[in-house]
Chains A and B, each alone.
Chain A
Amino acid sequence: MNSIVNHEFIIHIASFGLILIGFYIMFTQKNLIKIILGLDIAETGVNIFLVSAGYFKNHTAPIFSKAGLSAEQMTDPIPQALVLTAIVIGFGITALALSLVVKLYRETGTLDVSKIRGLKW
């Protein structure tokens, strides 16, 4: 492996690290807001991984903003369009989850998952 330490490799490792940190938070924390933050961190990792999957070294953004650009020197537009979707849907999920937490806090008076009756975890 001649390219073991390059740009893409570092980004892949970082995105997987973010995903793992997010999952660790979700598995171990008891505060509901922290669990949602963990979900967000994992989601950011996934988004970074998807964008870096379409990235090629020394290529430009896929916008023909000036003459003389050819398609061969551009990055892949499909993962970027996918991530555009994923970010918006992530926002919707986070907002809905937070409103559920607000509702739950009003009902039970606590954010601790282990103290809420009906949740076994």
Chain B
Amino acid sequence: MRKFFSLLLLLGFVFYISSIIGTILFHEDFFHAHNVGLQITENAVKQTGSINTITSVVVLYRGFDTLGEVTVLFLAALGISLLFASGKKEKNKIEDESFILKYGSRLLYPFIILFGIYIIVHGHLSPGGGFPGGVIIATGFFIILITSDFIKFNDKLLSVIEGFAGLSFIIFGLIGLFGQDNSFLANFLSTGVPGKIISAGIIPFVYAIIGIKVASELSGAIGTFTLVKQEGSKNE
């Protein structure tokens, strides 16, 4: 009976999706009509100084949304640490893993973090930015956390860094609000020469803040999984 209903639901979904795909296929100009993206690509370099149009959409044209997105990520990390708050805070004992894994990860992790910083710093010049760079840095810490005791996972320090980064994002926005443009997250610095590292006004700074925040949040979220001691089920 359950299978029947789920198949029925799926069939309804297939019908819905095929009607959408029909609309797309039989209207040649479906995607090309009313192209806001073209307007943005034409004017973005002049207005923001960032040669990467996606970055200027994410940080400036849609900066308020990005603040909301960072908040969603913060809520997810908060939920994870709340769910594990009751458990005993003890790091899982690392079993004797091979020498190569242990020292290979130690050798690799500075380079992973360096690559993450590169991705963040070049967010307004090349593909990348705060979110992917933060994820890469968190991956570097994650490799260390699961393979050796080289770094002690510090929950408190990470939440302090995270809170500081979130606060500076809002402060950056408020400076724009009380500056000459009178809008939240306005570009109050000079845009400089497009294509240079120090250009595009506040975009590199905001992306660095986002990178720090994402990196600390994801490291915290992943580290929480390694922290909690495995316990038997309570029903027994």
Contact A27 B54 (CB under 8 A): no
Contact B41 A16 (CB under 8 A): no
Contact of A20 among B13, B36, B87 (CB under 8 A): B13
Contact of A77 among B6, B31, B53 (CB under 8 A): B53
Residues in B with CB closer than 8 Å to A108 are 233, 235
Q: A62-B54, A65-B51 are in contact. Are A85 and B80 (CB under 8 A)?
A: no
- Closest chain-A Cβ to B16's Cβ sits at a distance in Å of 11
Chain A interface residue number, banded? 35 or more
Interface residues of B in 40-79 (CB under 8 A from A): 40-42, 44-45, 51-54, 57-58, 62, 65-66, 69, 72-73, 75-77, 79
Contact A78 B231 (CB under 8 A): no
A-B contact pairs, 29 of them (CB 8 A): A12-B25, A20-B10, A20-B17, A23-B10, A61-B127, A63-B51, A63-B126, A64-B51, A64-B195, A76-B35, A76-B37, A77-B41, A77-B53, A77-B57, A78-B36, A81-B62, A85-B66, A88-B214, A89-B69, A95-B76, A95-B77, A95-B222, A96-B76, A99-B80, A99-B84, A103-B83, A105-B233, A106-B233, A109-B233
Seen from chain A, the residues whose Cβ lies within 8 Å of a Cβ on chain B are 1, 3-4, 9, 12-13, 16, 19-20, 23-24, 27-28, 53-54, 56, 61-65, 71-72, 74-81, 84-85, 87-89, 91-93, 95-96, 99-100, 102-103, 105-109, 121
Contacts A62-B53, A85-B65 known; list 11 others, CB within 8 Å: A27-B7, A27-B10, A63-B126, A88-B135, A88-B214, A92-B75, A95-B221, A99-B225, A105-B233, A106-B87, A107-B235
Among all A-B residue pairs, the 7 with the closest Cβ atoms: A92-B76, A76-B37, A27-B6, A109-B233, A62-B53, A71-B41, A81-B57
